[in-house]
Structure 1
Amino acid sequence: MTDQVVGGFGHERTGEAGEPATEDHASPAGPGRPVPGGDAERGTVSGVGGQFIGRQRELKALRADIERAGLDTIAGRKAPRARVLLIAGRPGSGRTALARELVRQLAPDYPDGVLHARLTEPGGSPVPPGRAAGDLLAALGTDVPPGADEDVLTEMLRAALAHRRCLLLLDDADDAEQVDPLLPDNSDCVVVAVTQGPLTGIPDVRPCTIGGMDPKSAIELLTRFTDSVRVTVDPQAAELLVEQCGGQPAALVLAGGWLAARPKASVADATKRLRGLPDDPEQPAGARPLSRAFRLVYGSLPQSAARALRLLALAPAGLVDAHTASALIGCSVTSARSLLEDFAALGLLQEHTADDPGHVPDAPHPHGQYVVPGCLAPMLHVLVTEEERPAEIQLARARMLERTVRLLQSCWAITEPEGSAAQRKLAGLPRAMRFPGPGAADGWLRSRQQSLMAAARAAVGDGELDTLARRLVSAFVRALIAHRGAEAVAGELYALHQLVLDVAERRELRREQAAALLNLGDLDARTGRTDEALDRYRSALEIARRANDPYAYGRAVESVGGTYQELGDWQRAADWYGRALSERLARGERADEARLYGRLGTVHTYAGRYGEALRSWRAAAAGYRRLGDVPGHARALSEAARVQEYAGRPDESLRTCEEAVELARQAGDLRLQGALRLRLADTLERLGDPVAARMHRTVAEQLLGGEASGLRNP
């Protein structure tokens, strides 16, 4: 018969997934519900409160390895790269906790801080080196060009670390091909790599291979979860339990959680239960203790709790909070929060820790996130696949994505003005899905960015939830831009537009495909990848033509012209701007007509075709006049005056510039007035009137202050 455990597993939870609840903050563990400390993601050797236990011999050997003379030193050469300390062990052996403790001890000797990257996703997929390099560059505060390829990003990372004294923790590496591109070309840096086996291909690396903990440390870890009396009265049973767990920290954490949930059970009871569980012959011998410990805890859960735990395997990036759990399971947010706390007390989840580039990431996350332990994730994935019907899995994913979309919409709407349609819609959401203010929404967005990006990738990769995937990406883009600005999140926007393009190509959504290509082209152009941008714009042009999308077609034509302008091909730029202008004229879009006349005037000026440039700028000025855009009219006239001056017609330039100054005065644009008066002063000096020139320059300096020297040409 299934055991009933403390902490809410003894009763059914009811309530709707969208039920109003308290705000999303993690509740502290209550009495009798200890939360495992350290790094239960891959098995911990830390106790409650984060105190490190055991592994002193390994720590001493790793620290000594830093001072060991490498092959280059022996050969009389300066080490060309950072020293790599390799910690190898099976998932659940406490390898990550050992690495973090080592980094914590070494951190004071590395004034430029600690960088952390995990190189395997919770589902087991390796993280591409380019993505890891981009994350590390962002942690260093270095601007990452959106869409840059892997070689560029890894080279940028090595350059950023060339003159720093840093520690790099590369966790859960799959092979040497992931690690090698991230190694700094700087012997003042040290890299701590965590993996399951040797990193063949990286020279001069001696792995520190870890297995089970020593019995004394293992019993001390076990004592952290249950009162010491139960261990003291039956030390032999405690030793047998450690033996049954193979000394593996993750297995001991689970066994300790099982005991903590049963105050009346003895250590011998846990040992007997573990011994009675059969081994899985398909698993390696080293993985069987953890598997048995997991089955002990999982088998003791009520049916509803066991199903909830299985569904958490679907959480993006292995990160889960109350809202994610609520949507996956189909319960209220309050019930989901209680479930997460119970699972954490049993060692089945771990509080997520913030990864800060300046220190070892060991502080609890401020926004109530938990992580599915990496050593347990494969077992949960097998269970959810075997126990849940595909339709139920798809429904859980759909609920989770729908909840995420609504939270992102709420995150964006909180930045809109009071009384707006977005704010009115926000007021109709349950309280659990509303943020108290923009600051709280921004904090939530930043803390969830990793899991939100993972959710978007998973939704697009699924292929069956494309409508939800498109809504998710759209809401994510709006929230990012609203809180951080398009420039600050250009890298994230590039990845999201690429996801939109993937869905649009798969579903043959021509309009969305064209829009995604245009957005990607704009980001390519902004980062100097002009040829790539031109290819994107041309592809968007062809797709927009087939889709009969006049907006995308017009934008694509103009963007092709802008790219040729950037390349200095004035003739082709003018030709494409002319095509775009014809489209606008045919549709009577007057504001765009005036703007395109100006762009034509610019390229004709660069090409030295002053007659055509002057006609274009006069047409632009006329367009702005008809629109009633006085500042635009003044600027167009100022450019016409510039062309007249270039063409050797200073008298006409003077009259045109005076007219532009008067318009700028009417518009109240002091900066434009000042810049135009500086141009007037230059023209008057060339015409031989220094007194009038001095007067205009004095007025300009009064209008512009310290800016006058840099604004000779508006």
Structure 2
Amino acid sequence: MTDQAVGGGHLPPETAGRPATAARDLQASPPRQDGVAGGPPSRRGAPEGTAPGAPAAPPASRFAGRRRELKALRADIARTGLDTLSGRRGARSRVLLIAGRPGAGRTALAEELLRELADDYPDGVLRAVLTAPGGGAVGTDRTARELLTALGVDSPPGATEDELTESLRAALADRRALLFLDDAPGAEQVEALLPDAPDCLVVVVSQGPLTGIPDVRPCTVGGLDSAACVEILARFAGPTRITVDPRIAEAVAEECGGQPAALVLAGGWLAVRPKASISDLRNELHGVPLPEDLPRGLRPLYRAFRLAYAALPPPAARILRLLTLAPGGLIDPHIASALAGCSVAAATTMLQDFVALGLLRPVPDEEAGADGVAASSPGAHGSGSVPHPRYQLPSCLGPLARELLQEHERPADIQLARARMLERTVRLLLSCRAMGEPVDSPARQKVAGLPRSLRFPSEDAAASWLRSRRDALLDAARVAVADGELDTLDRRLMAALTRTLLAHLGAQAAAPDLYALHGLVLEVARRRDLPHEKAAALLNLADLDGQCGRTEEALTRYRGALEAARSVKDPVATGRALESLGGTYSELGDWQRAADWYGRALELRLARGESADAARLHGRIGGAHTYAGRWGDALKEWRAAARTYRRLGDVAGQARATGEVARVQEYAGRPEEALRTCMEALETARSAGDGRLEAALQLRIADTLERLGDPAAARLHRAVGERLLEDHPL
């Protein structure tokens, strides 16, 4: 995650007399955290049709300082490594490490390096953040899956970490790409992701060394030089105030420790106070009280953040604290509105103000066009509308903001804010899912009654919103499950997210996410002792395991689902578990056990009077006996299936079952009986109007006639069957 942000909040009263465009200018293109890009750009030249208050397309990045570090990093790429001293090329990718404290400009330096190297790596740049917003390490399996998705490579649901990292190495083996691993907690998380591809380059940002990874080229980032610091301040405060007090500006840079994150916050404080001098800024910074146990290296950023925070009005300060609860660290006006209990419009203004003050940074939209305008989102209507933007709290500010949250907010208030956020997310998911339904469907009509801010203008806009928030939505479910106090809301969230993913992505594309969601549902069901939901979750997980070839895991879960379903006498889940066990044993080729489990399912269906399911199960039992070579048992079951279909009036089903009777008779060495039965099935298929089944039966009759020594009749039936196949291809 980028170490610095730019943001806003309700601007202090000193700015009341400034033109309305001033605040918009400040947030249009934020400076990059590492002291890289610069202050408030002009709105001149913004694309026509851009709505007032919307971020304009960012200008080209202006990098301040770090030229020595950039030169050293580029030199390390070409330098011979320990693994190439013998003259042979190394088997793994070269690893460059940019080390330093959060807020020191590590990420922006890495981004500038990637920008300069992009043309040398035609397969592009892959990015991953290895530390979660809360400070914990992101699971390597999640990171590997996200990188595979970025490469367009499908990964099986429920795959292990080793399987995913192996797939990632295989996908990168023949590519020339840049892999950027930001905010790495340590070598363990990095090493598993390193590709065995010498044409790739890995750039890692971390706070410390990567002990254990051979031939890492480190670049330690300290404070910026005085000139670069003053340049950053000038971009916010303008050149006049810096020119008036150049020595004080250098003193402010020293007070900020040369840290870009602190400088941006200090510059944001100046930018919204046109009457304040650089000397005023220095005095205010120096006056911020410091905790006695605060390490010296953290003091500059602490002072700058506390100064920016102290200038916020109470409502804005509270919103800033609550933003640390945003799932996945992704913030938008809906999240902010729900957390704070204010309107979406008020939250939008507040977030833009936070950007101007350096407290948030905008997140580029992956689907934005060349003009920087992204796909629509709730509340954005019409071709000229601009969506609600997305933001992130810089990782270096996260711990400071979370400390304020614990200091000022009661646990009950935090829980209430989370509940409001989950409830809003559920409503958005229901609205998103409804956009995939027909216009006149009840779901669409219900959504039409929602507030404008919760509606999507089109199905494409809803799908785009889902894709851009997918990781954050999954994280919201994980956090709520881990919290354990909002299980009712979390269950609603997971149910809505599951249906929405299926509606917009389809079962195959959504399978990895669904696997994670079913696992979370199972965790809640076990904790809350909910047998119905436990059985459903186990069945869904077992289905996905079976699809991926993990049959032993599937069997274990199907048995667990059967036990849970029987404990509450749930006939639907019980029947599904019994059939699934039969199907899994069929895949294993254990036909005796398959027939046994199908038989148990048949007893349940017959007891409940479910004749259609009973007919289907008779056929499955007959199929298992056929594969096992038990012709008598197979004939008995297929005939029972045909009789049941006849009683139900399902002529096509009766024809198929009768055809299977003929197949078993032929396998049993009774071709004459098989021919008569097949003729009977053919007449039934004709009466059902099933052309494809009729074609298949004609071809089977032809094969039987050839074996009986009647080639002329066989040719006639085969010709008829082939003509039917042309009209009804199989």
What TM-score do you get using the length of structure 2 for normalisation? 0.90
- Corresponding residue to 1:384 among 389, 398, 405: 405
Q: In the alignment, is residue 443 of structure 1 matched against residue 464 of structure 2?
A: yes
Q: In the alignment, is residue 493 of structure 1 matched against residue 504 of structure 2?
A: no
- Corresponding residue to 1:678 among 680, 695, 699: 699
Partner of 2:69: 58
Tell me how far 1:498 sits from its aligned partner: 0.3
- Corresponding residue to 1:167 among 178, 189, 197: 178
Residues 125/692 of structure 1: CA separation in 2 closer, same or farther (3 Å cut): same
| Residue pair 2:625, 2:634 contacting (<8 A) in 1 also | yes
Q: In the alignment, is residue 223 of structure 1 matched against residue 242 of structure 2?
A: no
Match of 1:91, SS? coil
What amino acid maps onto 1:328 in structure 2? L
> Which string of whole-angstrom CA distances, capped at 9 and with x for unpartnered residues, describes residues 207-238 of structure 1?
10101112222222222223222223322222
Residues 31/389 of structure 1: CA separation in 2 closer, same or farther (3 Å cut): closer
Within-5 A mapping of 1:43-442? 43-47=34-38, 49=59, 50-354=61-365, 366=375, 368-442=389-463
Return 5+ residue gaps in structure 2 as ranges. Answer: 1-6, 14-19, 40-58, 376-386
Match of 2:30, SS? coil
Question: In 2, distance between residues paired with 1:224 and 1:57?
Answer: 22
Tell me how far 1:355 sits from its aligned partner: 6.1
Within-5 A mapping of 1:550-565? 550-565=571-586
| Residue pair 1:353, 1:364 contacting (<8 A) in 2 also | no
Tell me how far 1:113 sits from its aligned partner: 2.0
Residues 631/399 of structure 1: CA separation in 2 closer, same or farther (3 Å cut): same
Residues 434/634 of structure 1: CA separation in 2 closer, same or farther (3 Å cut): farther
Tell me how far 1:44 sits from its aligned partner: 4.8
Question: In 2, distance between residues paired with 1:151 and 1:364?
Answer: 39
Question: In 2, distance between residues paired with 1:364 and 1:373?
Answer: 23
Match of 1:116, SS? strand
Residues 675/112 of structure 1: CA separation in 2 closer, same or farther (3 Å cut): farther
Tell me how far 1:663 sits from its aligned partner: 4.0
Partner of 1:456: 477
Tell me how far 1:478 sits from its aligned partner: 0.3
| Residue pair 2:12, 2:311 contacting (<8 A) in 1 also | no
Match of 1:182, SS? coil
Question: In 2, distance between residues paired with 1:664 and 1:226?
Answer: 85
Match of 2:138, SS? coil
> Which string of whole-angstrom CA distances, capped at 9 and with x for unpartnered residues, describes residues 636-667 of structure 1?
23322322222222333333333434444444
Question: In 2, distance between residues paired with 1:629 and 1:65?
Answer: 74
Match of 1:449, SS? helix
Tell me how far 1:159 sits from its aligned partner: 1.6
What amino acid maps onto 2:513 in structure 1? E
Tell me how far 1:614 sits from its aligned partner: 1.9
Q: May I ask how many residue pairs the two structures share in their alignment?
A: 685
Q: In the alignment, is residue 594 of structure 1 matched against residue 615 of structure 2?
A: yes
Partner of 1:37: 30
Partner of 2:564: 543
Question: In 2, distance between residues paired with 1:216 and 1:337?
Answer: 35
Q: In the alignment, is residue 697 of structure 1 matched against residue 708 of structure 2?
A: no
Q: In the alignment, is residue 567 of structure 1 matched against residue 588 of structure 2?
A: yes
What amino acid maps onto 2:36 in structure 1? V
What amino acid maps onto 1:286 in structure 2? G
Residues 90/707 of structure 1: CA separation in 2 closer, same or farther (3 Å cut): farther
Partner of 2:493: 472
Tell me how far 1:39 sits from its aligned partner: 4.2
Tell me how far 1:93 sits from its aligned partner: 1.0
Question: In 1, distance between residues paired with 2:239 and 2:652?
Answer: 79
Tell me how far 1:196 sits from its aligned partner: 0.3
Tell me how far 1:365 sits from its aligned partner: 6.2
> Which string of whole-angstrom CA distances, capped at 9 and with x for unpartnered residues, describes residues 599-629 of structure 1?
1111111101122112212222222333333
What amino acid maps onto 2:397 in structure 1? L
Tell me how far 1:244 sits from its aligned partner: 1.3
Tell me how far 1:587 sits from its aligned partner: 0.7
Partner of 1:612: 633
> Which string of whole-angstrom CA distances, capped at 9 and with x for unpartnered residues, describes residues 419-472 of structure 1?
433223212211111111211110110010011011000010110000001000
Question: In 2, distance between residues paired with 1:614 and 1:330?
Answer: 68
| Residue pair 2:579, 2:598 contacting (<8 A) in 1 also | yes
Partner of 2:667: 646
Tell me how far 1:112 sits from its aligned partner: 1.9
Match of 1:225, SS? helix
What amino acid maps onto 2:26 in structure 1? R
Residues 628/424 of structure 1: CA separation in 2 closer, same or farther (3 Å cut): farther
Question: In 2, distance between residues paired with 1:414 and 1:486?
Answer: 17
Task: Name the stretch that deviates more: 221-230 or 371-380.
Answer: 221-230
Partner of 1:660: 681
Match of 1:207, SS? strand
